[in-house]
Amino acid sequence: MSDNHEETHEHMGIPKYIGIFLALVFGTILTYFTALTDLDTMLFAGANTLLALIIAFTKMTLVILFFMHVWWNGTLIKLTAVASFFWLAIMFAFVMQDYLTRGFGVFNK
């Protein structure tokens, strides 16, 4: 039976786990300190937000791929992971397409 699982654990040894862990810690510290720096004026408006999100996405990808073993999973699981975020993106995009294209009919109360 054990041949079923070979693929999963032969790829991840303890050093690799620790490596990913350190990358995550680094990301956390990086995001903390860059958030206190005003990149918006240094670079462009929204730079802070963008950077924070990029770091968060990277961290998430690491966790999904290695801690959750998706790297070694079949296409179905990969598809599921991608699709659910895609669906979320649909929700964001289609809600915001309304708000981003509205006139401002709100009154000054």
Partner 1 sequence: MDATVNNKIGTAVVDRTVEKTRTHYLNNGHSLSSWLLTKDHKRIAILYLITVSAFFLLGGVYAATIRLELLTPASDLLESGTYNKVFTQHGIIMVFFFLIPVVPAILGNFLLPLMIGAKDLALPKINLLSWYFYMTGGGLTLFALIQGGVDTGWTFYTPYSTTFSNGYVMLAGLGIFVNGFSSILTGLNFIVTVHTMRCPGMTWFRLPLFVWAHYATSLVMVLGTPVIAITILLMALERVAHIGIFDPSIGGDPILFQHLFWFYSHPAVYIMILPGMGVISEIIANYSRKKIFGYEFVAFSSLAIAVFGFLVWGHHMFVSGQSMYAGLVFSFLTMVVSVPSAIKMFNWTATMYKGSVSYDTPMLYAIGFMGLFLIGGLTGLFLGAMGLNVHLTDTYFIVAHFHYVMVGGTVLAYLGGLHMWWSKITGKTYSEFWGKISALLVFVGFNLTFFPQFILGYMGMPRRYASYSEELQVLNVFSTAGASVLGIGLVLPLIYLTYSLFFGEKAKSNPSMLPGLEWRTQSPPPTLNFDETPVVTWEAYEFGEENGLDIEKARREATV
Partner 2 sequence: MQKNWIPLFPEQASTFAWQIDALYFYLILISVFFTVLIVLGIAVFAVVYREKEKFATPEEIHGSMALEIAWSFIPFVISMTIFLGGAVIFYEQYKIPTDGMEIYVVGKQWMWKAQHSTGRREINELHVPVGRKVKLTMTTEDVLHDFYIPAFRTKADVVPGRYSYLWFEPTKAGRYRLYCAEYCGLNHSGMGGWVTVMEQKDFDNWLAGETTNQTPVESGKDLFTNKLGCASCHAGGKDQRGAKLEGLFGEDVKLVGGQTVKADEDYIRSSILNPSGQIVEGYSPIMPTFKGQVTEEQLTHLVAYIKSLGGNAATSPASPMTAPAAPMTSPDAKKDSSKDAKDKGGK
Partner 3 sequence: MATHTNDHYHPPGLQHQFENMKQQEESVSIGMWMFLAQEIMFFGGMFTVYLLYRWKFPMAFAAGSNHLDAFLGGLNTLVLIVSSLTMALTVYYAQKGNRMMQVVMIVLTMIFGTVFLGVKAVEYTEKYNKGLIPFANWNHKTPKGEERKVATSLIETKVSAAENKDAEHTAEHEYKSSTGVFEWKDLSLPQMAEKEGFLTEWEKVGYYSDGKLNEQKFESKVRIFFWIYFCMTGLHGLHMIVGLGLMLWLLWKAWLGSYTAEYYSPVEMAGLYWHFVDIVWIFLFPLLYLLGRHFMHGGH
Per CB under 8 A, 33 contacts partner 2 = no
Number of Cβ within a 10 Å radius of residue 56? 13
How many whole angstroms from its chain centre is CA 93? Answer: 17
Q: Point out which span in 3-11, 24-32, 47-55, 96-104 binds partner 1 (CB under 8 A).
A: 96-104
Choose among 59, 35, 58, 60: nearest CA to 48: 35
Candidates 26-34, 71-79, 83-91, 100-108; binding stretch for partner 2 (CB under 8 A): 100-108
Q: 15 vs 103, which CB is nearer to partner 1?
A: 103
Residue 31 contact among partner 1, partner 3, partner 2, none, beta carbon within 5 to 8 Å by kind: partner 3
Cβ proximity to partner 2: between 91 and 106 the closer is 106
For position 1 contacting partner 1 by CB under 8 A, the verdict is no
Count of C-beta atoms within a 10 Å radius of residue 109: 3
Closest to partner 2 by CB, 15 or 105: 105
Q: Does 100 bind partner 2 (CB under 8 A)?
A: no
Contact 48, 38 (CB under 8 A): yes
User: What's the CA gap between 3 and 8, in Å, rounded?
Assistant: 10
